[in-house]
Each structure stands twice: as C-alpha cells, then as structure tokens.
Amino acid sequence: MIKPYGSNNLNPLLVTSIERQQLLIESQSLPSLLLNSAAAASAVMLGAGYFNPLNGYMNLTDAMSVAEHLHTTDGLFWPVPILNMVKDISAISGANRIALRDPNTKDYPVIAIMNVKTIEVITDEQIAIMAQEIFGTLDVKHPGVVTFTGMGRYLISGSIQVLNLSYFQTDFPDTFRTASEIRDEIAQRNWQRVVAFQTRNPMHRAHEELCHMAMDRLKADGVVIHMLLGKLKQEDIPAFVRDKCIRKMVELYFPEKSAMVAGYGFDMMYAGPREALLHALFRQNMGATHLIVGRDHAGVGNYYGAFDAQTIFDEKVPAGTLEIEIFKADHTAFSKKLGRVVMMRKAVNHSRKDFVLLSGTKVRQMLRDGIAPPEEFARPEVAQILVDYYNSENGEQ
C-alpha cells in the first residue's frame, strides 16, 4: 500500500480510551480555550491521521513559510497553514498546558489537550499576506477570506493530544472514517490502485461518470468517494442530504464493491489550488494512489482559473514529494449528440449548445421551485432526494 505522507507509518493523534479518561480528569484542572470551528476541524484531521506527520498547530514562522513558500521552516512541504487563531487569550495567559473545547458540540466538551509552545500576535499585514497567498485574493466576499481574517490575532502553537473526533462519529456513524480506518478497509478489499474523489456536493451524472472514467483509464481496483462533512457556505446542501444522495447513486449505478463511501471532518476552505494540494496530501495518508482533480476543484465564484488546481501540482510541488498521483479531468457534461456524459474538451464536433450545462445556482433554484433537474444532469433517484429535501425546507412535507 502507498506510504503515508511524511513518514513510514501513519501517526494519528487520537489517544486510546485509557489515555482519554486520564486526560479528561487532567482537563478539569487546566485552563480551557473554546476553539473556532476551523481549528476544531483541524484537531479532528490531526486526530484522524489525515494531517500526518504534523503533531499540532503551527507557529507564526511556520505559518508564514507555508503560506509564502509551501513548506515549513524544517523543509516539510505543506500547502496551507494549520492554525489555532483566537481573539482572546486572557483565560490561558501563562499556561503551558491547556484544554481545547469543541465549539460544534453541545456543552463544548474538551476535544484535545494542547502543550502550549508559543502564543504570538499576528499583525494585520501578516494576516493579509497569508490570506492573499492561500486564497489568491483579499476580497471579503470570498467565504474563505472572511473566515480566515476574522478568527483573531493571537496564534497559539504546540502539539496536541486528541480526545475525540467531535460530532462526526455520532452524526455520521456509517460515513465518517479516519485515515487509518480507510487504509484498513482498502487492505481488506485488497485494492492496490485506489482513486479518491473529493466532493462537497451531491454527485450529479458528470461526477459519476468521472469516477468511472478514472477507474477505467487507471485500471483502478476501486474508488473512495470521500465527502466533506464539515462546515460549508450557508446555501450549500447539508452533509446528511449529500450523504443520502451519494449512497443512492453508488447503490444503483456503480458495480458492486467497486466504490467505498466515506467522509472526513473538515470545514471547507474554498482555497482552490492550495486546497487541492491539501486534498492530495491527506488522500495519500488514507491510502489512495490517485486523486481526481477536475475543473475548479475546491473553488468558489470566479476567483480561480478553471484548471489552476491542476497546474499547481506541476508548478509548485517538488519532484518526489507526493507519492499520490493526480488524474486531471476536464469539464464533464452530458452530450445531447452522443447521449452520454463526456469530457467536453475531447468531444469533437460539439458546440456549447450540444451539452446540458447547469450551474449550481440554477440547479438550486430549480429545486427550490420544486422542479427536479433533468435526467441528463442528475439521476432521477438522486434528484428526488434533493426535491424532497427542498420541499421539506419550504414546509411542504
């Protein structure tokens, strides 16, 4: 099986049940800090082994180095800073060891114990530099920028011990999986070549066909459809609905035992090319040998070029850094001429009017109006799940 990134063995930071009980007792006497959602999600990713080989949150020097040069000060390639940024440190001032509390779970339980290495003040100029490098813009209309720049000006670095994986295991018991668990299942299935498909949306027919194309061309043993389960933009479709849609598609339209449906606990950054690099890195940690990177991967609005998330792998990743390989996909759409989904760039004698092209905005408006997307765009069983959800939101059920 493909090696984890940065080490010979995967080193998840989630502690054992015995250690957890000991740490919970200790946490009662420690100063505590309520995390923001992004930092809590990073704790989950560290605990689940996805962010191997990191052992905690970065300091300011490493954060700036990663943002500007894509590597830590000791030379580890890393695409985005993993940070614990806060607005107020009065409750933990002078502490060497603190309890980190989960903002996304009732009563804010302790999610991790942190060994505080540094508490540093980030200047507005440094925040702006990092945001510009990570997101390619300082536009406050960009959801990632507004979140990142609003998280505070104190940066707390240090290693952590993760006690639990937030709400993901309880809310998505059949879907959430750690990197170790996915590796174990890949081994059980005896898959050697494994394609990962990243999604934050319900899968439409173009996504489905893209998975089939990648498996066929790469002669892969299977695909892991790996959905983001954390926070999204307000107008995005909730995780439980996406989960239901994806499972129905796999059940009906994928050969038996060819696809694994799983999810991970991270908040969407909408960082486009930088986030694509992060996606590749943690898919290597979960055991995938290939990652599908398509048009506007991890993008939002018009902030990134259509294929910037592909070219960054050629331009910014040093040779030999990642073992995982990228399957570069064109924009896929249903061809009216051929009666099937194709990669648009390779469809000869086609004009735009020969394709069924629907924007996410248009599809959401159709669903709000109680109209199912056409069968050329979405499988009818999937479309019905979405229509039912939007009807329930509109109080029609």
Of 189, 201, 247, 364, catalytic: 201
- Our answer to whether residue 52 is catalytic in this structure is no
352 belongs to the catalytic site: no
Measured at the CA of 377, the angle between CA 376 and CA 380, to 5 degrees, comes to: 80
Would you say 58 and 76 are in contact if contact means Cβ atoms under 8 Å apart? no
Catalytic hit among 200, 247, 364, 391: 200
Burial class (CB in 10 A: 0-12, 13-18, 19+), 31: middle
Active site residues: 200-201
